[in-house]
Amino acid sequence: MEAIRFDNLTFTYPMSPSPVLEGISFSVEESEFLLVCGKSGCGKTTLLRQIKKSLIPYGQRKGEVLYYGGPADQLDDRRGASEIGFVQQNPDNQIVTDKVWHELAFGLESLGMEGAAIRRRVAEMASYFDIQGWFRRDVASLSGGQKQLLNLASIMVMQPKLLVLDEPTSQLDPIAASEFLQTIRRINQELGITVILSEHRLEEAFSMADRVMVMDRGKVLAWGGPRRIGGQLARMEHPMFHGLPAVTKIYHAAADGNAAAATGEGPLTVREGRLWLREKANEAGLDKGPAAELWEKVCGRNAGGDPSVGSVFSGSEGPFGSEAGRMTGQGGLPDKRESRSGRSGKDRTGPAIRMKNVWFRYEKNGADVLRDLNLEVFPGQLYALLGGNGVGKTTALKAVMGLIAPRRGKVSAGGRIAMLPQNPQALFSEITVEDELLEVLHGTGKTDEEMAAAVSAMIERMEIRHLRQSHPYDLSGGEQQRLALGKVLLLEPEILLLDEPTKGLDPFFKLTLAEILKDLSGRGIAVLMVSHDIEFCARHAHRCAMFFDGGMVSEGDPRSFFAGNSFYTTTANRMAREYFPGAVTWEEVAACVRNMR
């Protein structure tokens, strides 16, 4: 039975010159898991809001959306509230009460249920979602992941038939996002609830889905099972291919026109990828001997060594070479041997940032958050700090920024310094995007014409032209991140601190961000970045360090750093390390597999 059907739906916002959705037709069966993906602004949110009557935006609509055979926009309010659950991007936008227990009960109270039934359902959901430990806490004291889990539990307590989620992990760190997505999978598998999920983080969500729909400019670009979507996008040579999970990209890029790719039946998980790689090695007559020997034989370099002249990494082969080159700067990893001296208008030979034996604690009798921390970042260098939540990474950035003073040790930073905080809203104070950017330039001595030109250029660079007159708080999580980054860059810093800069960004803008960081490095600007985005750090950073217990426990160029880790490494490396231990990006693994033939 069909839970939802879109029948030739077209939707246009008031005053908009063109439709945001055009001729959309698809259906979702009961208990099915549909993943919707595509570039920010392609119409995903508008599409999902057509399903729930109370969220349908104002505008001109043609075509139909049917819920179990009846028009969704004519659904009884009570049924619509209880049977169709909707989880939004920002968890704070959906919470309406002050206590966790009251938030769980609020929907049932609104439906007029009896107290005994409410208590039974609330207790059941609190147990299912493991909320007992913070059941009576204030909502304001919860983390972002806990708030989003509470939103989900508050919907599930009403026993919906359909669960719609609009980029629910965009505001969450990777660990909280992973846990949230696994919960969604459990709901679908154990309760049989139909799920429609819009998401940018495809590494985990892709393998969960029964079917995937890729959108582009308000239309359906590709539709099918997750094993076939990669093949469809590969044959189109569409940029969305580069937003797919690493295992899928490796399979199709390595095929390079082989008939196997035409079937589109490829691996989805690391386990499946390793089994496929074993088959490829056997087919090529390459027995699984010492990994370093196979790495040198197939890829033309020693394990952990530098590129050789004949290496497969000197360029990127196949139909994806040009895009891969744009992503990496050279079709493989960037050269991590870049000079430590930058070009910032004056000769610098020393580090731009230096932390020596730094200790810090927030309370006099509290535990040390920074413990004997030593760190150097040079001009023109992109330095990435990785590690779990609560280990002191953000505190280290605050120390460099001068927001906190170490109780022991020394911190020095030479030059103009600016910081992009983890919460971009901390930088917002105006009522439009344009005003936010202009606010930074006041008092700089620039003329009105110069300020207007600088703002227009930054709006174009951040790809938010269509949001120029929007309120900053009306933007999506990724759009707010781009606005905040633009505001920081207008300060023209010589030292740039970034706290989770890729959070909420779609794969397309990550390419733009990589180009921006490459340009900054080329101009001698030192960039210190805290990030959970392992794939981004592996591809674009010059140095990476593992942060743990208030200090750095390991450091190195991305190849040596990620190749030696078990969990803090790329999906590509986890999949291929038995054969190619030095390969850390999907382009490298795909190139090695092509070279096995």
Summarize pLDDT for 233-259 with one digit per residue, the tens.
888 888 888 889 999 999 988 875 443
Between strands 70-71 and 84-87, the pairing is unpaired
Looking at the structure, tell me whether residues 272 and 314 fall in a common domain: yes
Looking at the structure, tell me whether residues 176 and 106 fall in a common domain: yes
Residue 289 has pLDDT above 60, yes or no: no
Beta bridge partners of 28: 4
pLDDT value at residue 143: 82
Looking at the structure, tell me whether residues 315 and 402 fall in a common domain: no
Place 316 in a pLDDT band, splitting at 50, 70 and 90: very low
CA nearest to 588, candidates 256, 286, 311, 239: 311
* Crossing angle of helices 586-596 and 291-299, rounded to 10°: 80
pLDDT value at residue 344: 37
Q: How many CB atoms lie within 10 A of CB 136?
A: 10
Residue 460 has pLDDT above 60, yes or no: yes
Looking at the structure, tell me whether residues 59 and 204 fall in a common domain: yes
* Residue 362 forms part of a structural domain: yes
pLDDT value at residue 263: 52
CB proximity list for 490: less than 8 A, separation 6 or greater:
437, 440, 441, 454, 455, 458
Looking at the structure, tell me whether residues 377 and 518 fall in a common domain: yes
* Residue 330 forms part of a structural domain: no
* Residue 267 forms part of a structural domain: yes
Q: What is the mean pLDDT of residues 296-315?
A: 43
Place 264 in a pLDDT band, splitting at 50, 70 and 90: low
Residue 184 has pLDDT above 90, yes or no: yes
pLDDT value at residue 321: 42
Amino acid type, 180: F
78-92, 207-221, 314-328: least confidently modelled range: 314-328
Q: How many CA atoms lie within 13 A of 249 on its CB side?
A: 24
Collapse the DSSP code of 32 into the 3-class scheme (helix H, G, I; strand E, B; otherwise coil) and give the result: coil
Q: What is the mean pLDDT of residues 316-324?
A: 39
**Average pLDDT score over the chain:** 85
- Looking at 163, 192, 224, the residue that finishes a domain is 224
pLDDT value at residue 345: 37
Q: What is the mean pLDDT of residues 85-108?
A: 91
Looking at the structure, tell me whether residues 212 and 246 fall in a common domain: no
Looking at the structure, tell me whether residues 20 and 87 fall in a common domain: yes
pLDDT digits (tens, 9 = 90+) for 535-548: 999 999 999 999 99
Beta bridge partners of 86: 164
Give the Cα separation of 490 and 421 in Å (integer): 15
Place 311 in a pLDDT band, splitting at 50, 70 and 90: very low
Domain extent for 40: 2-224
Tally of domains in the chain = 3
Looking at the structure, tell me whether residues 216 and 244 fall in a common domain: no
Looking at the structure, tell me whether residues 361 and 306 fall in a common domain: no
Looking at the structure, tell me whether residues 220 and 245 fall in a common domain: no
High-pLDDT (> 70) share of the chain, %: 88
Q: What is the mean pLDDT of residues 313-324?
A: 38
Residue 335 has pLDDT above 50, yes or no: no
High-pLDDT (> 90) share of the chain, %: 58
pLDDT digits (tens, 9 = 90+) for 131-170: 988 999 999 988 888 999 999 999 999 999 999 999 898 7
Q: What is the mean pLDDT of residues 10-39?
A: 93
pTM for the model: 0.82
Residue 160's CATH number:
3.40.50.300
Looking at the structure, tell me whether residues 313 and 412 fall in a common domain: no
CB proximity list for 7: less than 8 A, separation 6 or greater:
25, 63, 64, 65, 66
Looking at the structure, tell me whether residues 417 and 500 fall in a common domain: yes
Give the Cα separation of 376 and 383 in Å (integer): 9
Sheet holding 370-377, edge to edge: 370-377, 353-360, 408-413
pLDDT value at residue 253: 87
> Dihedral, CA atoms, 318, 319, 324, 326, nearest 10 degrees?
130
* Residue 231 forms part of a structural domain: no
Residue 338 has pLDDT above 60, yes or no: no
pLDDT value at residue 348: 52
* Residue 301 forms part of a structural domain: yes
Q: Which of 69-73, 385-389, 589-593 has the highest mean pLDDT?
A: 69-73
pLDDT digits (tens, 9 = 90+) for 480-522: 899 999 999 999 999 999 999 998 788 888 989 999 999 999 9
* Residue 511 forms part of a structural domain: yes
* Residue 342 forms part of a structural domain: no
* Residue 577 forms part of a structural domain: no
Token pair for 133: 């430990």
Cβ atoms 406, 399 nearer than 8 A: yes
- Looking at 189, 224, 259, the residue that finishes a domain is 224
pLDDT value at residue 188: 95
- Looking at per-residue pLDDT, the higher value among 143 and 318 belongs to 143
